[in-house]
């Protein structure tokens, strides 16, 4: 199995990286990304995968996770795994004991993965008939359980969605921190933020408010331009592709001013082309580059002639 660099305990860039600039990588759930010449030419070395918390005991979920993680390790990537609801019991959050047993099994199966998030978009809320999210005190207990399951791993604290009105997000953060103190658990030093609502309106105030409430090192574990998402972000006649590219350029521009942001995971690589309700892909379903890919390519490679639409 390929070896990977361990994540520094403080969430800072690995040895040799420029301290003044965040590490930038991709989030995606399709292992085909790693075979793409377009992805390879970006020369990024961090990736993020969302796995059901019970993947280790569900053969289908485990097979998908194993294929993705092995493809990432073959490319010497530092992997961040974010746990999420089960594919089989999505509307019922697990007990803390069940969660700890299942994530411990996962950690043992993938010893080279050294960075985790307890729950993807923990503050997302419940969507009736689709999935449930943990209350803030439960999310704190999941964090504690994951720390116990992998005491030598970097465990990011909350992974939160900013939301159009961030008041509920700020309240969730406060409740989480209150429970962490009540449990007498060490406060997380690294936090995850998804700032879709902010950057897709070409704004930055939500990101700053959420970052201030969290404190510590911030990882934008999902960010980027939305190509299509319901009525709020349509893709009529391809306009969503250009809008998403503009948003991604804006989002990357924030990094020069937000010093607490240490990592950025652009989400995601594979576009759905209308197959699902959410599409933020840098490439289409056939793997061809979209305008957003060119923005990221030019940002990372700084004028490289390869960053042109084909």
- Domains for the chain: give ranges and CATH numbers: 23-301 (3.20.20.80)
**What local confidence, expressed as pLDDT, does residue 125 receive?**
84
Question: 3-class DSSP state for residue 131?
Answer: strand
| Mean pLDDT across 26-46 | 96
Per-residue pLDDT reduced to its tens digit, 285-310: 899 999 999 999 999 998 788 887 65
- The proportion of the chain whose per-residue pLDDT surpasses 70, expressed as a percent, equals 92
What are the strands of the beta sheet with 159-161, ordered from one edge?
A: 154-155, 115-117, 78-84, 46-52, 23-27, 261-267, 217-223, 190-194, 159-161
**What local confidence, expressed as pLDDT, does residue 264 receive?**
97
If one compares 5 and 206, the residue with the highest pLDDT of the two is 206
| Mean pLDDT across 234-240 | 86
Cis-peptide, bond into residue 268, ω within 30° of zero: yes
Q: Flag whether pLDDT at 1 surpasses 50.
A: no
| Helices vs. strands in the chain: H and E counts, helices first | 9, 11
Burial-class residue 308 by CB neighbours within 10 Å (0-12, 13-18, 19+): exposed
**What local confidence, expressed as pLDDT, does residue 275 receive?**
61
Phi, psi of 166 (to 5 degrees): -80, 5
pTM of the model: 0.91
**What local confidence, expressed as pLDDT, does residue 11 receive?**
41
Residue 162 near residue 207, CB atoms below 8 Å:
yes
**What local confidence, expressed as pLDDT, does residue 20 receive?**
64
What is the overall mean pLDDT for the chain? 91
Q: Cα–Cα distances in Å, from 139 out to 39, 159, 177, 299? A: 33, 10, 10, 35
**What local confidence, expressed as pLDDT, does residue 2 receive?**
36
């Amino acid at each position: 199995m390929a070896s990977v660099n361990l994540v520094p305990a403080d969430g800072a860039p690995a040895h040799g990286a420029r301290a003044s600039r965040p590490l930038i990588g991709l989030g995606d759930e399709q292992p085909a990304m790693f075979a793409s010449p377009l992805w390879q030419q970006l020369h990024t070395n961090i990736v993020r995968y969302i796995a059901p918390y019970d993947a280790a005991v569900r053969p289908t979920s485990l097979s998908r996770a194993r294929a993705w993680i092995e493809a990432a390790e073959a490319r010497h990537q530092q992997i961040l795994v974010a746990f999420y609801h089960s594919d089989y019991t999505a509307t019922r959050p697990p007990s803390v004991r069940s969660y700890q047993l299942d994530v411990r099994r996962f950690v043992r199966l993938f010893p080279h993965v050294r960075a985790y998030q307890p729950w993807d978009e923990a503050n997302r809320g419940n969507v009736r008939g689709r999935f449930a999210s943990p209350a803030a005190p439960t999310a704190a207990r999941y964090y504690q359980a994951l720390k116990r399951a992998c005491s030598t791993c970097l465990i990011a604290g909350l992974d939160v969605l900013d939301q159009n009105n961030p008041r509920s997000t700020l309240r969730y953060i406060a409740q989480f921190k209150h429970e962490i103190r009540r449990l007498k658990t060490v406060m997380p030093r690294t936090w995850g933020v998804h700032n879709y609502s902010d950057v897709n309106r070409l704004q930055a105030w939500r990101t700053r408010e959420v970052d201030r409430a969290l404190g510590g090192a911030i990882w934008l574990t999902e960010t980027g331009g939305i190509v299509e998402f319901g009525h709020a972000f349509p893709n009529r006649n391809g306009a969503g592709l250009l809008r998403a590219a503009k948003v991604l350029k804006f989002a990357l521009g924030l990094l020069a001013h937000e010093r607490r942001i240490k990592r950025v995971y652009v989400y995601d690589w594979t576009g759905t082309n209308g197959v699902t309700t959410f599409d933020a892909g840098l490439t289409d379903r056939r793997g061809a580059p979209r305008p957003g890919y060119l923005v990221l390519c030019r940002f990372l490679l700084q004028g490289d002639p390869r960053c042109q639409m084909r």
